[in-house]
Amino acid sequence: MRIAMIGTGYVGLVSGVCFSDFGHEIVCVDKLTAKVETLRAGGVPIYEPGLDEMLRRNVEAGRLSFTTDLAEAVKGAQAVFIAVGTPTRRGDGHADLTYVYAAARELADVIDPGTVVVTKSTVPVGTNREVARVIAERLVETGRDCPFEVASNPEFLREGAAIEDFMRPDRVVCGVDSEVAEQVMRDIYRPLSLREAPVMITSLESAEIIKYAANAFLATKITFINEIADLCEKVGGDVKAVAKGIGMDGRIGSKFLHAGPGYGGSCFPKDTSALARIGQDHSVPMRIVETVIDVNDRRKRRMVDKVLDLLGGKANGKRIAVLGVTFKPETDDMRDSPSLTIVPALVGGGAKVVVTDPEGRREGEALLPGVTWAEDAYAAAVEADAVVLLTEWNQFRALDLKRMRGGMRGDAFVDLRNVYDPEDVTQAGFRYVSIGRSDAEPTAGAPVTELMPST
Minimum CB distance to ligand UDX smaller for 2 or for 258:
258
- According to the binding rule CB under 6 A, does residue 222 interact with ligand UDX? yes
- According to the binding rule CB under 6 A, does residue 293 interact with ligand UDX? no
- The stretch near ligand UDX (CB under 6 A) out of 13-21, 94-102, 108-116, 258-266 is 258-266
Of positions 110, 131, 157, 315, contacts ligand UDX by CB under 6 A: 157
Which candidate, 110, 103, 121, places its Cα nearest to that of 148?
110
- According to the binding rule CB under 6 A, does residue 264 interact with ligand UDX? yes
- According to the binding rule CB under 6 A, does residue 265 interact with ligand UDX? yes
Of positions 260, 324, 349, 422, contacts ligand UDX by CB under 6 A: 260
Its sign, for the CA torsion 66, 67, 72, 75, is positive
User: In the annotation, is 267 catalytic?
Assistant: yes
- Among candidate residues 28, 146, 174, 267, the one labeled active-site is 267
Beta carbons of 91 and 14 less than 8 angstroms apart: no
Question: According to DSSP H, which parts of 248-383 are helical?
Answer: 268-281, 287-310, 339-348, 361-367, 377-381
Of positions 22, 47, 156, 393, contacts ligand UDX by CB under 6 A: 156
Taking CB atoms, the residue at the shortest distance from ligand UDX is 267
Q: C-beta of 352: minimal distance to ligand UDX in Å?
A: 26
- According to the binding rule CB under 6 A, does residue 155 interact with ligand UDX? yes
- β-strands 149-152, 319-323: how paired? unpaired
Of positions 258, 302, 361, 431, contacts ligand UDX by CB under 6 A: 258
- According to the binding rule CB under 6 A, does residue 242 interact with ligand UDX? no
- According to the binding rule CB under 6 A, does residue 14 interact with ligand UDX? no
Q: C-beta of 231: minimal distance to ligand UDX in Å?
A: 17
Q: Which residues contact 368 (CB under 8 A, 6 or more apart)?
A: 325, 339, 340, 343, 344, 347, 355
**3-class secondary structure per residue, 354-409:** EEECCCCHHHHHHHCCCCEECCCHHHHHCCCCEEEECCCCHHHCCCCHHHHHHCCC
Beta carbons of 323 and 364 less than 8 angstroms apart: no
Q: Number of helices and strands (H, E) in the chain?
A: 18, 14
Question: Catalytic residue positions?
Answer: 267
Chain contacts with ligand UDX (rule: CB under 6 A)? 155-159, 215, 218, 222, 256-258, 260, 263-268, 327-328
